[in-house]
Amino acid sequence: MIVRKREMQTGAWFKIITNYLKNIKYWRKYKMNNDPVIKTFIPYGKQYIDEDDIVAVSEVLRGAYITTGPRVEIFERDLCNLTGAKYAVAIANGTAALHAACFAAGIEEGDEVVTTPMTFAASANCILYCGGTPVFADIDPDTWNISADEIEKRVTDRTKAVVAVDFTGQAVDLDRIRDICIRQNLILIEDAAHAIGTKYRDKYVGSIADMTIFSFHPVKTITCGEGGAILTDDENYYRKLLRFRTHGIIHDPKLMRQKPFNGFYEQIELGYNYRLTDFQAALGSSQLKKLDKFSKRRAMIVDIYNRELGKIPELILQKEIPDSKTTRHIYIIRLNKKLLRASRGEFYKSLNEENVGLQVHYIPVYYHPYYQSLGYRKGLCPVAEDLYEDIITIPLYYSLSDEDVYSVIEAVKKTVDKYRK
| Confidence tier at 29 by pLDDT (50, 70, 90) | very low
Average pLDDT, the chain: 93
CA distances from 327 to 47, 150, 215, 398 (A): 15, 25, 14, 11
Beta bridge partners of 324: 200
Percent of the chain residues past pLDDT 90, beyond the cut: 87
Domains of the chain, residue spans: 51-288, 291-419
Q: What is the pLDDT of residue 10?
A: 56
Query: Which CATH code fits 291-419?
Result: 3.90.1150.10
Amino acid letter at 57?
V
Q: DSSP assignment of 214-240, as one string?
A: EE--TTSSS--SS-EEEEES-HHHHHH
Instruction: Work out the average pLDDT over 241-252.
Output: 93
Q: What is the pLDDT of residue 19?
A: 61
Name the pTM for this structure.
Answer: 0.91
Q: What is the pLDDT of residue 179?
A: 98
Number of alpha carbons in the 13 Å side-chain half-sphere of residue 248:
8
CATH of 51-288, one of 3.40.50.2300, 3.30.300.30, 3.40.640.10, 1.50.10.20: 3.40.640.10
Quick: pLDDT tens for 98-127: 999 999 999 999 999 999 999 999 999 999
Quick: pLDDT tens for 358-373: 999 999 999 999 999 9
> Please, what is the angle between helix 344-352 and helix 402-419, to 10°?
140
Q: Residue 263: is its pLDDT beyond 70? A: no
Give the range with max mean pLDDT: 12-21, 61-70, 290-299. 290-299
Q: What is the pLDDT of residue 258?
A: 80
| Confidence tier at 252 by pLDDT (50, 70, 90) | confident
CA distances from 59 to 56, 216, 286, 319, 378 (A): 5, 20, 12, 43, 51
Question: Phi, psi at residue 185, to the nearest 5°?
Answer: 60, 50
Q: What's the CA gap between 275 and 282, in Å, rounded? A: 14
| Confidence tier at 257 by pLDDT (50, 70, 90) | confident
